[in-house]
Every structure is written in structure tokens, then in C-alpha cells.
């Protein structure tokens, strides 16, 4: 998985910057602008933005605004979240549980550990329940039966136990270490 921070979907989004004022007679393709913490602009269709409960309630509170600032969200995970929600909209129009399951599985399989972990707070903050479910499950699957050290590095957590504390914890939970190879 590449570690570059610029995302390919970003460019396709930003090309659609021109406002589309008179589309009410046709399909309601109103665009909503999302601004990430690193000042990237994302234009998404209203239906996609309404998948984000946080954005939706923002609009309910102040319907006149057309740009939603997302100060906690950086561009890369946001673009991935948008990509996911666009697909979900299609499934909403055309329900196909098997296809949806397949897409969701592929969506997480091709992401790096870091991408997944970075997307979770975004999905949580934007309150996209379906995505959060998919991500939580994917992360749980990835740490299943992995060593404590692996899990620490997966989440970027520093061990704050002393050696004695860790040994005491192990003694207390000896049953959980039975039949486990020491690593």
C-alpha cells in the first residue's frame, strides 16, 4: 500500500467546483462543499453528504450555508469515506445485499492498517454507522490472534506498564495464556 498522502479521488472531486444553480427542475443534484482540516475542498452530491449525520444536522441547523468545515478531518481519510458513501448511495437505489457485502469487504481489504485506523475517527465523527461497522469489524479481524506487541504497533500505542505490572497482569490472567506460544 502506498504511503503517499495525495489521493487520486481528490482531483476528480475538485474539478467539479463550478456551482450548479438551476437544477431544481431536473434531478436534485445539489452539491455540498466539505472543507478538511488541511484546507482541501471536496464537492459532493447532497445525497452523499446526507449520509454523514453530522453534516446533515449541520445543514438542519444552518440551511443557508454551503460549505461545511470539518476541522478534525484530514483529506485522505475523508476522500476514502466519500468514496465509500458514494457506493452506498448506489446500493440504496438498487438494493443488492450480496454486491454490497462484496463491495464492503473489498473496500476494507485493499486499505492499509493505517488507512483503516485513520478512517475510524472520521466515520465516527461524521456518524456514518454502516461504515463504522465495517471498519470496526475489519480492525477486529486484523488484530484477532495477533501478539500484544503487534497490536501496540498497529494502533501506535506505547506500553505504559512496568515489567512488574505486566507480569502481575499475566499472573492474574494466567488462564488466558494457556496454550499460547510465547513470542
Partner 1 sequence: MATCSDGKASESGSCAGFLLSNLPDDVLVEILCRVTDRKHLTRLKSVCKSWSNLITDACVPKISASSPPQGFIYIVKKARNGKPNNIDYFPCPMTPGVEPGPHEFVKSYSSLLPFQPTRNDFLDCCNGLLLFVEGCTMQYYVCNPMTKHCIAIPRGSMLENIIFASLAFDPSRSPHYRVVCIEFSEFNPPLRLHVFSSETGNWSMHETPFGYSFRCTLVRRCIYVDGTLYCISTSKQLICFDLNRGNSRAIRLPQWKRLDPDGFGCAGPSRGRLCYSDLIGTTFYIWLLEDRCKNDRWTLIHRISVDYLGKHQHQLDRITISRFGKISALRPFALHPTSDVIFFGTPRVMLSYHLQDRRFELIDRAREDRQILYGQLMVFPYTPCLVNLKHFG
- Contacts to partner 1 by CB under 8 A: 35, 37-38, 54, 57-58, 61-62, 65, 67, 69-74, 77, 117-118, 120-122, 124-125, 132, 136-137, 139-141, 143-145, 148, 151-152, 155-161, 166, 169-170, 172-178, 180
Q: Indicate the residue among 47 and 74 with the shorter CB distance to partner 1.
A: 74
Cβ atoms within 10 Å of 73's Cβ, excluding its own: 24
Give the three cell numbers for residue 88: 452506498
Q: Indicate the residue among 59 and 89 with the shorter CB distance to partner 1.
A: 59
Q: Rounded to the nearest whole angstrom, what is the least distance from the CB of residue 24 to partner 1 in the complex?
A: 24
Q: Rounded to the nearest whole angstrom, what is the least distance from the CB of residue 166 to partner 1 in the complex?
A: 6
Count of residues in the chain:
183
Q: Rounded to the nearest whole angstrom, what is the least distance from the CB of residue 11 to partner 1 in the complex?
A: 21
Q: Rounded to the nearest whole angstrom, what is the least distance from the CB of residue 74 to partner 1 in the complex?
A: 6
Q: Indicate the residue among 50 and 117 with the shorter CB distance to partner 1.
A: 117
How many angstroms separate the CA atoms of 117 and 148, rounded? 17
Q: Indicate the residue among 12 and 157 with the shorter CB distance to partner 1.
A: 157
Residue 21, CB-side half-sphere exposure with 13 Å CA sphere = 0
Q: Rounded to the nearest whole angstrom, what is the least distance from the CB of residue 93 to partner 1 in the complex?
A: 29
Angle at 130 between CA 125 and CA 132, to 5 degrees: 45
- Give, for 135, the enclosing helix (H) or strand (E): helix 129-143
Q: Indicate the residue among 93 and 163 with the shorter CB distance to partner 1.
A: 163
- The residue with cell 488541511 is 38
10 Å CB burial of residue 157 (0-12, 13-18, 19+) is exposed
Q: Indicate the residue among 22 and 172 with the shorter CB distance to partner 1.
A: 172
Q: Are 77 and 40 in contact (CB under 8 A)?
A: no
- Give, for 44, the enclosing helix (H) or strand (E): strand 41-45
Q: Rounded to the nearest whole angstrom, what is the least distance from the CB of residue 17 to partner 1 in the complex?
A: 17
Q: Are 130 and 149 in contact (CB under 8 A)?
A: no
Amino acid at each position: 500500500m502506498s504511503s503517499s498522502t495525495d489521493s487520486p479521488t481528490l482531483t476528480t472531486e475538485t474539478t467539479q467546483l463550478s456551482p450548479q444553480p438551476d437544477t431544481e427542475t431536473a434531478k436534485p443534484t445539489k452539491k455540498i462543499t466539505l472543507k478538511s482540516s488541511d484546507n482541501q475542498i471536496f464537492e459532493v452530491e447532497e445525497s452523499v453528504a446526507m449520509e454523514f449525520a453530522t453534516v446533515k444536522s449541520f445543514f438542519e441547523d444552518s440551511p443557508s450555508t454551503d460549505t461545511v468545515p470539518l476541522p478534525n478531518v484530514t483529506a485522505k481519510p475523508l476522500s476514502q469515506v466519500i468514496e465509500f458513501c458514494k457506493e452506498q448511495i448506489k446500493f440504496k437505489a438498487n438494493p443488492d445485499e450480496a454486491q454490497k457485502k462484496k463491495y464492503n469487504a473489498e473496500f476494507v481489504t485493499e486499505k492499509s492498517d493505517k488507512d483503516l485506523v485513520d478512517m475510524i475517527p472520521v466515520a465516527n465523527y461524521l456518524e456514518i454507522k454502516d461504515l463504522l461497522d465495517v471498519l470496526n469489524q475489519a480492525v477486529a479481524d486484523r488484530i484477532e490472534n495477533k501478539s500484544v506487541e503487534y497490536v501496540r504497533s498497529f494502533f501506535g500505542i506505547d506500553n505504559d506498564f512496568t515489567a512488574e505490572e505486566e507480569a502481575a497482569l499475566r499472573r492474574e490472567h494466567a488462564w488466558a495464556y494457556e496454550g499460547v506460544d510465547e513470542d
